[in-house]
Amino acid sequence: MRQVVIILTFCVFIFLSFRVEDPLNPEFSIAKLLEALGDEPLPHKPNLLTGDASISRGRDIVINGMSKAGGKKSKRQSKYFTCIACHNIEREDPQLSNPSPEARLKYTNDQNLPFLQGSALYGVVNRRSFYNGDYEKKYGDLVKPARNDLRQAIQLCAVECSQGRKLRDFELESVLAYLWTIDLKLKDLFLTPDELELVEHAFDTGNNRGEAIKVLRSKYLDSSPATFVDPPADRSNGNQLTGRPENGAIIYKNSCQHCHFENKYSFLLLDDSKLTFQHLQNKAGKYSSHSMYQVIRYGTPPKGGKKAYMPQYTKEKMTDQQMADLRAFIDESAQ
């Protein structure tokens, strides 16, 4: 009996000593909480002992495409893009377990965020799978080492998506370190009072930890589905859906102009002039790189001497209805 008591006491001591913060609060890291409850640790924690790796350097690389050390700027990671060209670094979905483009458009607009092709970097460290779904069609075998390895996924994005150079070891660890500062927090999961009570009880006592882990992991996706879809067969008539110009105006401002205004990431200027809208209206029904249907669903490929390109919007990032909304706004603005 005494041995049983000693063993139980030791187990409780181990569990309590592993706790990272006390008590739980809205800013509590979900990854730390899951690990404290006994879930499998995420495999991509940063190594800040690598060279000059630091959180601030990682943030600079993500936002500006370069960093500073000793007063000197590093070489740009890409001449064409930065991470935030295609990825938000803030939360972009109101419902993390069931994201939808319609809800995302409203949420990002309310938060003054762009409506982008790439998955949000906010919470990316909480994922266990990357370059999911149809991205294998686009990148082939390059996806295989990146599918379950965030470091490899970052490097694939750096070289192929960003058309830039591979990150050096300390740069990669810096980016990871920064991404861990924007991991999911307890406040992001919107637990019900009963669910929060269950999690707190498991955290405090060690009881029902498996159930608590199940609840927490049900509140967000650990991958980002991607489905490639074709443009309408008849570009002139579109997809036969009735467009909502007011929604299209938001898409134009928060998607198109995110890259195509003020020379941010493209030399093609999309301003608010009637001439621009007439150009887009004229090109919409054609098999042209300036056709909204063509570029939204297929993107544009890098060309010799011009590596900048446009990535496509998957079904999970823009719906056919939203494309109809954009077309309706363009047609209305061209009058």
Same domain flag for 105 and 177: yes
Crossing angle for the helix pair 320-333 and 274-284, nearest 10 degrees? Answer: 130
Domain presence at residue 253: yes
Tokens of 179: 């991404």
Same domain flag for 144 and 263: no
Same domain flag for 266 and 214: no
Domain presence at residue 237: no
> Cα(209)–Cα(117) distance, rounded to whole angstroms?
36
- pLDDT tens-digit map of 244-274: 999 999 999 999 999 999 877 887 899 999 9
Same domain flag for 21 and 111: yes
Domain presence at residue 231: no
Tokens of 149: 């390895």
pLDDT band at 306 (very low <50, low <70, confident <90, very high): low
- pLDDT tens-digit map of 177-202: 999 999 999 999 999 999 999 999 99
Report how many domains make up the chain. Answer: 2
> Distances from the Cα of 69 to the Cαs of 64, 155, 179, in angstroms?
14, 21, 19
Same domain flag for 46 and 78: yes
Same domain flag for 218 and 260: no
Same domain flag for 71 and 158: yes
Same domain flag for 66 and 213: yes
> Cα(289)–Cα(301) distance, rounded to whole angstroms?
10
Same domain flag for 25 and 69: yes
CATH code, 294: 1.10.760
Question: Higher model confidence: residue 6 or residue 216?
Answer: 216
Q: Which pLDDT value is given to residue 11? A: 43
Domain presence at residue 233: no
Same domain flag for 122 and 267: no
Same domain flag for 61 and 110: yes
List the domain range (segments joined by +) for residue 83.
Answer: 1-226
- pLDDT tens-digit map of 49-89: 988 899 999 999 999 999 877 667 788 999 999 999 999 99
First to last CA, the chain: 86
